[in-house]
Chain A
Amino acid sequence: MTASEATQPGLRDRFIGWIEQSDRRIVLATVAFVYGVFAILVILEQGLGLGTVNSIFGAWRTITFLFAAYALLTLALNLHWGYTGMFNIGVAGFMAVGVYTMGLLSTSPDALSGQGLGLPLPIGILGGMIAAALVGLVAAIPALRVSADYLAIVTLGLSEIIRLSAGSRTLSNWTTNTFGAGTGGGSGMDLPDRPTDFIFNSSIGESIADVFTVDVPRIDMLLFEFGNREVTLISSSILSDFVWTFVMLLVLAGVYWMVRRIGYSPFGRVLKAIREDELVAQSLGKDTRRFKIKVFMLGCALMGLAGILWQGSQGFANPNSYRPVVTFYAFIALIIGGSGSNTGSVVGSILFVGLLFEGPRQVGAIISARLNLADAPGTFDGAVAPLAQLDVTPFLAYAVDNIAPLQFVLLGVVLIIIIQKRPDGVLGDRTETAAAIDLHKEETNE
């Protein structure tokens, strides 16, 4: 072993130790890591070139947007499951309540599909959060009277009822005729524009877009002409999405601040006690039902908000976006990060979105771009049989063609590995003491 090899781990350990000193560094390091992975993946797919810059930013836009969305959901879920031990598997439903309530309040009455009351957007957003909290109350009250597992059944059922109600044409027609607002049923509901879009619909947007457009010298060999070529480094649609994503990140920072304060407080202490042993908390005089109802409503309101910022920012709501799988994705992000840790929830969301959700699709794109695959075989037999002749191309083509189902296989494998090897997730084994102050004994000057 050479000297340099011997010092290498020391440096590496010191670097990791330095990052672990602060939560901010952990989050930023994880983001930087995922950004780096995606930059490499995009370069592998497209090669190096000025146009690649736009694609890299496009990939970053997608993961940052999804990360912000999932981090909001996961933080809310962490309040329910990580802190209080309330098994809410109706996350998607509470998102839907938020989005559709926002739509019913703020969508224009003249919208093509699904009509709203046309109230200002802030009222819609607030209304959406309140509605999600109230639906949470409706779910929590009966479920609190029975044992905890029933909450899971109630929330899952409720979430599906909400999704199916939102997709009901009959219900939509009836509410439109009666109250002047309806969800649009299966054909979906038009939603208000993102409030940040005005920037890029104005001259400010053009001048911002200009900054990211560069002139590249160009030589036309045939005509012996010299000239310039305009290259868009980052397209204005990506820039405009980034502005919205930035708003989401600001909200995420605010929500993170809030749930962290809850975690480090006597309120959070009671939540943890409820998770550990509700009867003990009661025997110490804590009215656990009140705590559970409060935290459940708060979490549901945050899920509604996450829904509004995420699905509600797409200009269109569709009942199919609120399938239970969204709930399970949020749980996976929470389990990866470490249930019970707020920073873990954020880190878990980055890793989930980057490596499990968007990563496989990007890898699939690389394979199809680089290997020049023929048409994918239509059946599994057709994919596997050529392997006998050591021909892997049909199998790869088949795999790339079925990247979405394969993703589920990957998720399952990752979950099994985590639960086996690191059941506390990335950060779940940390001790985040639930108190508003440092509990170390005060040293008296003797």
Chain B
Amino acid sequence: MSDATTTPPAETTTETAATPLRVEGLEKRFGGIVAVDDASFDVKAGTVTGLIGPNGAGKSTTFNCITGALTPTDGEVYFQGEKITGMRPEQIANRGLVRTFQIARALSEMTVLENLMLAPKAQQGEKLWRSVVPGARQGVVDQETELRERVWETLEFFEIDHLAYEKAENLSGGQQKLLEMSRAMMTEPEMLLLDEPMAGVNPTLEDKLLDRIHSLREDGYTFLLVEHDMDVIMEECERVIVMHQGSILADGNPDEIRDNEQVIEAYLGEDI
């Protein structure tokens, strides 16, 4: 992963570098329903931050508002000091804030290799004329050759290189999660938003995935993850944000969250 790991988050001012993601007073309404209600939090650089909450707490909606899939009704989202509220998903992704989905969204009819080759930014061959005009194509071919190397490195890093030629639809749910994450890595992101990366993943794969998140964090990547598995959250996250009925209920380190009365109540006595 030499290439991907040599790009730690860009340094701007110390303040924005320390907290790449800042959410202020985020609100999202669907008709009469308030899915996210005045949520404010931030994510520190180089950390794994967990976003938890009971079903319907507004976690995925928050994700969708941050990444541009939904436009928030009110509030602001800042990424590396820049206001990204209301930007289109591709604009946000191109700024280095890349997400995965709760239910793995592999591009099913495409092979694993194609899935990964798709992801890198600034591909010359994405210009129509460059892909067609004979003279201009050489540059495209050169870039593709470079990318191919990175793709294979990434596949090996996530240990799915044996599936490279398979159509994505033939992968198991867990393998698709790995595919999604490796695809997200190919964009060389500054920060990753993972929506339930462990859901439907078998224990062996889960360990593998956690392993990857660990070593990527060591390399300076920042993670925000929505997760239901409390063990994962408590073990892996430096910081946990709890949402309940659209609002932020608690925000602190795992130990604080474990002892928080309100959180226990929100989960109705569920063992945290």
Instruction: Identify 11 residue pairs between A and B in the complex whose beta-carbon atoms are under 8 Å apart, listed by A's number.
Output: A266-B131, A269-B110, A275-B109, A285-B94, A286-B126, A287-B90, A298-B128, A340-B109, A431-B111, A433-B113, A435-B117
Rounded to whole angstroms, the CA-CA distance of A272 and B113 in the bound complex is 13
Known pairs A433-B113, A435-B117, A441-B164. 16 more at Cβ < 8 A?
A265-B137, A266-B124, A267-B130, A275-B109, A279-B105, A283-B98, A286-B126, A287-B90, A294-B128, A340-B109, A434-B117, A435-B113, A435-B148, A436-B141, A437-B144, A437-B148
A286 CA / B98 CA spacing, docked (Å): 12
In whole angstroms, what is the CA distance A282 to B91 when docked? 8
Nearest Cβ on chain A to B130's Cβ, whole angstroms = 8
A413 to chain B, nearest CB (A): 27
Is A351 located at the chain interface by the 8 A CB criterion?
Answer: no
- B residues in contact with A279, CB < 8 Å: 69, 89, 105
Is A13 on the interface with B (CB-CB < 8 A)? Answer: no
Whether A269 touches B89, Cβ cut-off 8 Å, given contacts A261-B132, A262-B132, A436-B141, is: no
Closest A residue to B156 by beta carbon equals: A441
Q: Report the minimal beta-carbon distance from A66 to chain B, rounded to whole angstroms.
A: 27
Q: Which residues of B contact A275 (CB under 8 A)?
A: 109
CA distance A276 to B69 in the complex (A): 17
Interface string of B62-101 (1 = CB under 8 A from A): 0000011100000000000000000011100110001101
Tell whether, in the assembled complex, residue B128 and residue A262 are in contact, meaning their CB atoms are under 8 Å apart: yes
Please report the C-alpha to C-alpha distance between residue A7 and residue B161 in the assembled complex, in whole angstroms. Answer: 40
* B111 proximity list for chain A (CB < 8 A): 431, 433
**In whole angstroms, what is the CA distance A294 to B105 when docked?**
25
Contact of B107 among A272, A287, A436 (CB under 8 A): A272
How many angstroms between the C-alpha atoms of A276 and B179 in the bound complex?
15
Residue B183, interface by CB 8 Å: yes
Given A261-B137, A279-B105, A436-B140, do A269 and B132 touch, yes or no (CB 8 Å)? no
Does B118 belong to the interface (CB within 8 Å)?
Answer: yes
Cα(A160)–Cα(B51), bound, Å: 52
The 8 Å CB contact of B126, one of A266, A431, A433, A441, is A266
Which B residues are in CB contact (< 8 Å) with A281? Answer: 90, 118
Q: Of A267, A276, A282, A437, which is within 8 A of B127 by CB?
A: A267
Interface size of B by CB at 8 A reads 48
* Contact of B128 (CB < 8 Å), options: A267, A277, A280: A267
Residues of A with C-beta under 8 A to B165 = 431
> How many Å lie between the Cα of A261 and that of B134 in the bound state?
10
A265 partner residues in chain B, CB cutoff 8 A: 125, 131-132, 137, 140
- Which residues 242-279 of A have a CB within 8 angstroms of B? 258, 261-262, 265-270, 272-273, 275-277, 279
Q: Which of A258, A273, A280 has the most CB of B within 10 A?
A: A280
Tell me if B149 is interfacial: C-beta within 8 Å of chain A: yes
Output the least CB separation between B57 and chain A (Å).
22
B214 within 8 A of A: no
* Cα–Cα distance between A281 and B67 once the two chains are bound (Å): 13
Distance between Cα atoms of A399 and B203 in the complex (Å): 66
Closest B residue to A287 by beta carbon equals: B90
Contacts of A283 in B (CB 8 A): 67, 69, 89-90, 93, 98-99, 101
- Residues of A near B69 (CB, < 8 A) are 279, 282-283
Main secondary structure of the interface of A (DSSP, over half): helix
- Cα–Cα, bound, A272→B88 (Å): 20
What CA separation (Å) do A268 and B167 show in the bound complex? 17
A-side contacts of B93, CB under 8 Å: 282-285
B29 to nearest A CB, angstroms? 21
Tell me if B151 is interfacial: C-beta within 8 Å of chain A: yes
Residues of chain A contacted by B101 (CB below 8 angstroms)? 280, 283
Find chain A residues with CB under 8 A from B107 CB: 272-273, 276-277, 280
Evaluate contact between B140 and A266: CB separation under 8 angstroms.
yes
Given A266-B124, A282-B88, A436-B141; A276-B131 close (CB under 8 Å): no
A280, B105: Cβ atoms under 8 Å?
yes
List, in ascending order, chain B residues with CB within 8 A of A280's CB.
101, 105, 107
* Bound Cα distance A295, B129 (Å): 11
Candidates A284, A431, A437, A441; contact of B183 at CB < 8 Å = A284
> Is B202 interfacial (CB 8 A cutoff)?
no
Min CB distance A151 to B, Å, is 19
- How far does the alpha carbon of A191 sit from the alpha carbon of B69 in the complex, in Å? 50
Could you tell me the distance between the alpha carbons of A4 and B67 in the complex, rounded to whole angstroms? Answer: 67
In the complex, which residues of chain A have a beta carbon less than 8 angstroms from the beta carbon of B109? 272, 275-276, 340
Q: Given A265-B140, A282-B93, A285-B93: A276 and B110 within 8 A (CB)?
A: yes
Whether B110 and A436, one on each chain, are in contact in the complex, defined by CB atoms closer than 8 angstroms, is no
Interface membership of chain A positions 281-313, coded 1 if the CB is closer than 8 angstroms to chain B and 0 otherwise: 111111110010011001000000000000000
Q: Report chain A residues within 8 Å CB of B126.
A: 266-267, 270, 286, 291
Q: Confirm or deny: B123 has a beta carbon within 8 angstroms of a beta carbon on chain A.
A: yes
A286 contacts B90, C-beta separation under 8 Å? yes
Closest Cβ–Cβ distance, residue A89 to chain B (whole Å): 22
Is B208 on the interface with A (CB-CB < 8 A)? Answer: no
User: In whole angstroms, what is the CA distance A15 to B187 when docked?
Assistant: 45
Taking CB atoms, residues of chain A closer than 8 Å to B184 are 284
